[in-house]
Amino acid sequence: MHKTIKKVRVECEDLMVGMFVCELDRPWLDSPFLLQGFYIKDDEDIDTVRDICDYVFVDKAVERNVVSSNLPTASSALLLSRSVSKPAKAKTRLSRAADEQVKRKPADSLQGIKDFFPGKALTRYTDSASWREESRVARKVIPELYDIIARVMLASMDAAPLDMEKLKRAVEPMVASVIRNPDACLWSTVMKPPADMNYDSALRATVYAVVLGRQLGLPKQDLRSLAIGGLLFDIGKLRLDDKILYAERRLTSQEMAIMQRHVEVAMQILKRAGITDPDIIDFVAHHHERLDGSGYPQGLAGDLIPPFGRIAGLVDCYNAITGSRKYASSRSPAEAINQLYKLKDVHFHADLIDEFIQAIGVYPVGALVELSSGEVAIVVAQSRSRRLRPMIAVLLDRDKNRVAESRYIKLEEVTHSDDGRKLDIVKNLEPNAYGMDLLRLKLKH
């Protein structure tokens, strides 16, 4: 017997627990929801739908007084990545973004992660500077750090010893900036035009590692260790044959075996430099180990991988997905997040992935997005309280023409456009959508 659908339009302000949402006020593929139909479990689910829609249609025939945990809900149907050119398929793993990242309460932000760092007094950091204020600092700090990275890498190629005191001094301003407001350094890092593949990768890894460490609440001394680890973890690659290092194709199995020796080479460099900090050593030695034991060089699994090695592996993975490679184009930040989500408790601990997504945002800094108004914008900073409503800069008008001057919008404060319609992010876009070249983008802060 076929079920009779009793579809009724409901304004989002009138949604109630137990309702089954069967249709949105827009096509499903133009929304961040993966499942085409879900139950409203609680008030947080109502808030999730309100953030995206003005009204929905509910099926009154399947309403429930109690929604069990194994039924699809708004939170479980929310997909982190929705690409214009590659719509998500039904087999994609469901994201609990609203429950785990978007709607988490500050009091819960360090729960589940404390076991990684027994005995450490974790700190809950808060922003002490706005994105605009800290951007003035980051615009100076990041180029200076990049210059130090280039010098260290070049010296290493000539087998010169590492100057650890110089490295410690070099990372200090970036660490301090990330503590004040992580989005500023993230923006200056992801928007930096590419130069050398290895230097660029070291810069991104350094910043990502410190941003994640800040989210985890690690003390400043540990953030410095993360920064130095990120700067050095791939330094062994520079001692490899350029034909392998810069190959414009995927490596053969024999070449890959040679490439994997970069970990061993890096450890030798650290030893000669007299580096004894166990956190830096763990970061470099274990950044290719994976939770399920599929990594290298030791094939460690689970808790045998030290905490800083787990951080390094996650940062390196995200870096590889979003960074440009000669044989493969980079992918959008949102797509990279979705890829990480599939690796929960496979390659990386679920709690660590949750914290990383919390740190960089559901819509990361540098992500290109389309608004419900039809305009195209780039994410410049996060909202710490409403993860689906970051600060953006509008680049294209609703007809997809370049605007004369970008305007900044804090979506957590500006909820409607000038014509009174609700203003939301409705799509993640590929980095080159509509012919955009984000790395040539010049914005007035």
Mean pLDDT of all residues in 415-433: 88
Band (69; pLDDT cuts 50, 70, 90) = low
Q: Is the pLDDT of residue 83 over 80?
A: no
Q: Does the residue 98 lie in any domain? A: no
- Domain identity same for 131 and 269: yes
Band (pLDDT 50/70/90 cuts) for residue 100 is: very low
Question: Range with the lowest mean pLDDT among 57-66, 259-268, 360-369, 424-433?
Answer: 57-66
Its domain, for residue 427, covers 368-440
CATH of the domain at 300: 1.10.3210.10
Lowest mean pLDDT among 263-267, 362-366, 367-371, 385-389: 385-389
Torsion (CA) 51, 52, 53, 56 in degrees, nearest 10: -100
pLDDT of residue 158: 76
Residue 90 lies in a domain: no
> How many domains is the chain built from?
3
Same domain, 64 and 156: no
Domain membership of residue 162 (yes or no) is: yes
* pLDDT band, very low/low/confident/very high, at 111 (cuts 50, 70, 90): low
Q: Are 198 and 61 part of one and the same domain?
A: no
pLDDT for 108 equals 43
Per-residue model confidence as pLDDT tens digits over 390-406? 999 999 999 999 999 99
Query: Beta-carbon neighbour count of residue 208 at 10 Å?
Result: 27
* Same-domain pairing of 185 and 311: yes
- Same domain flag for 252 and 198: yes
CA distances in angstroms from 59 to 17, 76, 405, listed in the order given? 13, 19, 45
**197/316 same-domain check:** yes
Segment 91-111 shows an average pLDDT of 38
Query: Does 431 lie in the same domain as 375?
Result: yes
Quote the CA–CA distance of 252 and 258 in Å, as a whole number.
Answer: 10
| Residue 435 counted as domain residue | yes
Angle at 428 between CA 427 and CA 433, to 5 degrees: 105
Q: Do 153 and 254 fall into the same domain?
A: yes
Do 298 and 157 share a structural domain?
yes
Q: With a cut of 80, say whether residue 206 has pLDDT above it.
A: yes
Q: Is the pLDDT assigned to residue 172 strictly greater than 80? A: yes
In a domain, 54, yes or no: yes
Provide the pLDDT for residue 110: 53
pLDDT score recorded for residue 68 = 59
Would you state the pLDDT for residue 71? 67
What is the Cα–Cα distance from 393 to 407, expressed in whole angstroms? 5
Domain boundary among 30, 59, 78: 78
Average pLDDT over residues 325-345: 75
What's the pLDDT at 226? Answer: 98
- Mean pLDDT, the chain, whole residue set: 84
Task: Reply yes or no: is the peptide bond before residue 333 cis, omega within 30 of 0.
Answer: no
Per the domain annotation, does 353 fall within a domain?
A: no
Residues 65, 170: one domain? no
> Which of 276, 302, 330 corresponds to the end of one domain?
330
Are 54 and 193 within one domain? no
Residue 342 lies in a domain: no
Whole-number pLDDT of residue 229: 97
Q: What is the pLDDT of residue 93?
A: 31
pLDDT of residue 47: 83
pLDDT (mean) for 220-224: 97
Asked if residue 92 belongs to a domain, the reply is no
Give the pairing of strands 38-39 and 376-381: unpaired
Of the residues 280, 305, 330, the one at which a domain ends: 330
pLDDT tens-place string over residues 20-60: 898 888 766 556 675 668 888 888 788 888 878 889 999 87
- Check whether residue 316 and residue 372 sit in a common domain: no
pLDDT at 183: 97
